[in-house]
Amino acid sequence: MTMWLPMIGLTALPHVGGLYGGFITRKEVKNWYPTLNKPSWRPPNAAFPVVWTCLYTGMGYGSYLIWKELGGFTEDAVVPLGLYGLQLALNWAWTPIFFGAHKLKWALVEIVFLTGTVGATMVSWYSISRTASLLLAPYLSWLCLATALNYCVWRDNPEKKEE
């Protein structure tokens, strides 16, 4: 059973931040988010939890494949798993910025850094495990869509000046 623990733990880890983000988002999707101007091409609200569940599972399993291939948290794992950890922290930070603080511009800046970090993670993983790297491809694609959506929402909803 212990051989399964790292796989289960690393696959489940991204969902921790996803659950936290879900608590923040739940109220805002009903109250604040409907008041925003959004592009007509945005995915329906119901798609987001389904998509994120799949993406978090894929990225988590990919991190397990890298961890396993490199023999755990070794010196060789510092860059590939460090980049992964950084992108995960940036991923978890976006929801409190956008939905929690309603800071559309800062969320846009943050998601641009997140997207770049995911790209760097994929590059660092590719020579270790192509499968792990390719498991991040749907995530990177979704982030490109999410970045465009964040941009349009920021552009079409000027932030009010604080007095």
Question: Which pLDDT band holds residue 160 (cuts at 50, 70, 90)?
Answer: confident
Domain assignment present for residue 14? The answer is yes
Q: What is the pLDDT of residues 50-91, one digit of tens each?
A: 999 999 999 999 999 999 999 999 999 999 999 999 999 999
Domain assignment present for residue 41? The answer is no
pLDDT value of residue 162: 56
Helix, strand, coil share of the chain (percent; to 5): 80, 0, 20
Domain assignment present for residue 56? The answer is yes
Domain assignment present for residue 161? The answer is no
Tokens of 160: 């009010």
Domain assignment present for residue 75? The answer is yes
Domain assignment present for residue 40? The answer is no
Domain count, the chain: 1
Q: Decide if 57 contacts 128 (C-beta within 8 A).
A: no
C-alpha–C-alpha distance, residues 109 and 116, integer Å: 11
Residues 134, 138, 143, 145, CA torsion sign? positive
CA dist list (Å): 28 to 24, 84, 111: 7, 28, 19
pLDDT value of residue 154: 98
Q: Which domain CATH number covers 134?
A: 1.20.1260.100
Domain that holds residue 28: 5-35+46-156
Q: What is the pLDDT of residues 86-143, one digit of tens each?
A: 999 999 999 999 999 999 999 999 999 999 999 999 999 999 999 999 999 999 999 9
* Beta strand residue intervals within 46-129, DSSP E: none
Looking up tokens 């956008």 gives 98
Domain assignment present for residue 162? The answer is no
pTM: 0.93
Question: Which pLDDT band holds residue 161 (cuts at 50, 70, 90)?
Answer: low
Domain assignment present for residue 163? The answer is no
Map residue 102 onto helix, strand or coil: coil
Find how far residue 82's CA is from the centre of its chain.
Answer: 15
